[in-house]
Amino acid sequence: MHSQCVGYSLPVPNVQALATSINKSSLVPERYVRPEAKIEPVASTDDIELPVIDLAKLIDQEFSNEEASKLHLACQEWGFFQLVNHGVPEDLMEGLKVDIAEFFSKPLEEKMAYKQDNDGTIQGYGQVFVLSEEQKLDWSDMLYTMTRPIVLRNMKYWPTSPPTFRDNIDRFSLELTNLASCLWNYIAKNLGVAPEVFAQLFKDHPQAIRFNYYPPCLEPDKVVGHSPHSDATGISFVLHVNDVQGLQIRKDGEWITVSALPNAFVVNLGDITEILSNGIYKSVEHRVMIITENARISLASFHSPDNSIMLRPLPEVIGDGKPNYGSISYQDFMKAYFDKQLEGKSVVDMLKL
Ligand code: OGA
Ligand code: NI
């Protein structure tokens, strides 16, 4: 079993069902009311744009150096970027989006056939990071599947309906794995590290895909769709499955709302990359707010290192300088991550020297 999916979470009510049961005369239950979310200001997005990286340019000899510099800057200053011209076939993207929307539109009983099963992993339909009955809850449901390498799959959590869903997840997961390894090459070079070092750290390319469903809410300002967190990954890709926005990134003490380009991936570097890069690259906190009358649907593809690695800043990056983080085994890191609930960046902060 890979550390990426080992974990535990208490069962919680289905939010999609809850959202449809609430009407104008009933209120959002107290467990979902999040006054703290209003403390930090949300920036107006008019003049702030997430960097856009063009993969076709990155792999084209003529433009590669220039695009790689843009990538380096995006990783340093944002920890986030949008990836366009990524080469994942459009018919696959469209087919998968239709399948995901159809899965979430099925009756609750049908979705519950894939519910999390207290099997020591977080795979399945439900929610993660719920460790106590007192804890505030996110306004969302999710389906979590380990997708690669194939030996880590547990098909009981892969919906059989719509009938194309499994095949599309399979094809998509391969495309994203190839995309991740392509990006690792450029990230390695930008950090002054031999690409083989990253290839070794991320060998077998453990990958999980999380399908997120954020129901609409009559009182959207009271709830949070996805609590502030950084991803405990090497790199993550978010795809907007329908055209409803709501993802926000923390930058300079403000929340910035991402306005995702159609069919672009919103890519972010995770905690693992922050540590490996000795903090040159940041794993940035993000959250999802419920801002509309419509449901928001997204998927996140998480790419993790080999289960057996020791996590520490790479010597090639440190050079003559000092490490800014202590070392810890990847498995212990993941244990700490799942034990802490989603309290921002606490595990990475713990490792800071
Ligand atoms: C995640 C995540 C963002 C989104 O699943 O880790 O940050 O837009 N999702 O759903
Ligand atoms: Ni995330």
Query: Which residue from 309, 306, 239, 305 is spatially nearest to 267, judged by alpha carbons?
Result: 239
Determine whether the shortest distance from the Cβ of 210 to ligand 1 is under 6 A: yes
Determine whether the shortest distance from the Cβ of 286 to ligand 1 is under 6 A: yes
Query: Which residue from 157, 211, 202, 155 is spatially nearest to 179, judged by alpha carbons?
Result: 202
Closest ligand to 296 CA? Answer: 1
- d(CA 50, ligand 1 centre) in Å: 16
Q: How confident is the model at residue 342 (pLDDT cuts 50, 70, 90)?
A: low
Dig out the tokens for 7 from the structure. 């974990």
- Estimate to the nearest angstrom the gap between the alpha carbon of 200 and the chain centroid: 22
Determine whether the shortest distance from the Cβ of 247 to ligand 1 is under 6 A: yes
Length of the chain: 353
Q: Which CATH number fits domain 3-351: 3.10.450.50, 3.40.1260.10, 3.40.50.670, 2.60.120.330?
A: 2.60.120.330
DSSP 244: -
Q: Which residues have CB less than 5 Å away from ligand 2 (the ion)? A: 231
Strands (E), 164-281: 207-214, 226-229, 235-240, 247-251, 254-257, 265-269
Average pLDDT rounded to a whole number, residues 227-250 = 96
pLDDT for the residue 56: 98
- d(CA 320, ligand 1 centre) in Å: 37
pLDDT for the residue 340: 73
Query: Which residue from 106, 102, 103, 109 is spatially nearest to 145, judged by alpha carbons?
Result: 103
In terms of pLDDT, which residue wins out, 25 or 59? 59
Q: How confident is the model at residue 351 (pLDDT cuts 50, 70, 90)?
A: very high
The answer to which of 109-113, 115-119, 171-175, 223-227 has the lowest mean pLDDT is 115-119
Of 9, 100, 224, 226, the residue with max ligand 1 atoms within 8 A of its CB, to mutate for a pocket test, comes to 226
Compute the radius of gyration of the chain from its Cα atoms: 19
Nearest CA to ligand 1 atom 2: 300
| pLDDT above 70 (res 136) | yes
Q: Domains of the chain: which residue ranges?
A: 3-351
Average pLDDT over the chain, rounded to an integer = 94
Identify the three-state secondary structure at position 348. Answer: helix
> Is the omega angle on the peptide bond into residue 216 within 30 degrees of 0, that is, cis?
no
Identify the helix (H) or strand (E) that includes residue 84: strand 80-84
Ligand 1, atom nearest to 287 Cα? 7
Tell me the pairing of strands 254-257 and 247-251. Answer: antiparallel
Ligand 1, atom nearest to 236 Cα? 6
- d(CA 233, ligand 2 centre) in Å: 9
pLDDT for the residue 343: 67
| pLDDT above 80 (res 87) | yes
Q: Buried b / exposed e across 249-277, counting CB within 10 Å, b at 16+?
A: bbbeeebbbbebeeebbbbbbbbbbbbbb
Query: Which residue from 17, 212, 203 is spatially nearest to 106, judged by alpha carbons?
Result: 17
| pLDDT above 70 (res 47) | no
pTM of structure: 0.96
Compute how many other C-beta atoms are within 10 angstroms of the C-beta atom of residue 179: 21
Determine whether the shortest distance from the Cβ of 230 to ligand 1 is under 6 A: no
Average pLDDT rounded to a whole number, residues 15-26 = 84
Determine whether the shortest distance from the Cβ of 240 to ligand 1 is under 6 A: no
- d(CA 229, ligand 2 centre) in Å: 6
Q: Tokens 């949300």: give the residue.
A: 42
- d(CA 72, ligand 1 centre) in Å: 23
Ligand 1, atom nearest to 140 Cα? 10
Encode pLDDT of 291-328 as tens digits: 778 999 999 999 999 999 999 999 999 999 999 999 99
pLDDT for the residue 332: 94
In terms of pLDDT, which residue wins out, 171 or 346? 171
